[in-house]
């Protein structure tokens, strides 16, 4: 019942990254089923051919554990970053927001392409000049191609691009921006670029 309840959330937000949040009841159930099958095989209550299912379950566990161990340094790094952020709050988002507000007009349109995109849009009272998913949900190549095409067609007059620690990896869109735009201002922390279309000058 817990698994069904959690999977309802996944159905409402069907993204591969969300699968990690809802799959753990299935992992526990798989381990219980494998353990039960092994016990029944030993007691000769079921055929030994059921070991195939047990082998599949344990193979998946082994592969998943290996991948997790190989990626452990990433999780460790994130944990250290979280601890550091709690003990020494990062003031960068506030300074970036000040830069955005200083170079845009409230209730206007500006393409913001950096980390914390949604928060900056809300706080600066801006809207996006292009249609499509937000930066966090732009993982498919088709989404990136659609945004790339819109940027070329619409040519937003205001674009603020995140670099360095504020960069969001989306090379297709970066290529378009760098090709059709020029940098007119950089924030003091050198994490944001204010871009304007080359044709406008």
Token pair recorded at residue 10: 């996944």
User: Is the model's pLDDT at 201 over the cut of 50?
Assistant: no
pLDDT at 170: 61
Query: Strand, helix or coil at 177?
Result: helix
Give the Cα-Cα-Cα angle 106, 109, 112 (nearest 5 degrees).
100
- Partners of residue 183 on adjacent β-strands: 195
Q: Tell me which H or E stretch contains 161.
A: strand 159-162
pLDDT digits (tens, 9 = 90+) for 81-122: 777 766 666 678 899 999 999 999 989 999 999 888 999 999
**pLDDT over 90, % of the chain:** 35
pLDDT digits (tens, 9 = 90+) for 15-29: 776 777 788 888 899
User: Is the model's pLDDT at 185 over the cut of 90?
Assistant: yes
Identify the band that residue 12 occupies on the pLDDT scale cut at 50, 70 and 90.
confident
User: Is the model's pLDDT at 41 over the cut of 70?
Assistant: yes
pLDDT at 171: 59
Is the pTM for the entire model greater than 0.85?
Answer: no
Which residue ranges make up each domain of the chain? 2-86, 92-200
pLDDT at 103: 95
Mean pLDDT score across all residues of the chain: 85
- Residues in contact with 40: Cβ distance below 8 Å, sequence separation at least 6, in sequence order: 46, 50
Whether 158 and 110 have beta carbons less than 8 Å apart is answered as yes
């Amino acid at each position: 019942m817990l698994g069904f309840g959690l999977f309802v959330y996944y159905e409402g937000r069907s993204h591969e990254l969300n699968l990690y949040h809802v799959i753990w009841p299935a992992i526990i159930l798989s381990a219980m089923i494998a353990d039960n099958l092994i016990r029944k095989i030993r007691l000769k209550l079921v055929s030994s051919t059921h070991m195939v299912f047990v082998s599949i379950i344990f193979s998946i566990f082994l592969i998943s554990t290996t991948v997790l161990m190989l990626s452990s340094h990433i999780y460790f790094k994130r944990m250290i970053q979280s601890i550091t952020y709690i003990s020494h709050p990062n003031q960068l988002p506030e300074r970036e927001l000040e830069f955005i507000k200083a170079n845009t007009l409230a209730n206007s349109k500006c393409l913001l392409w950096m980390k914390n995109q949604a928060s900056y849009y809300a706080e600066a009272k801006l809207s996006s000049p292009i249609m499509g998913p937000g930066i966090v949900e732009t993982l498919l190549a088709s989404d990136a191609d659609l945004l790339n095409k819109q940027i070329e067609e619409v040519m937003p007059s205001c674009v603020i691009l995140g670099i360095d620690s504020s960069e969001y990896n989306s090379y297709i869109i970066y290529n378009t921006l760098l090709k059709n735009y020029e940098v007119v201002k950089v924030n003091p922390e050198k994490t944001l670029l204010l871009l304007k279309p080359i044709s406008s000058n």
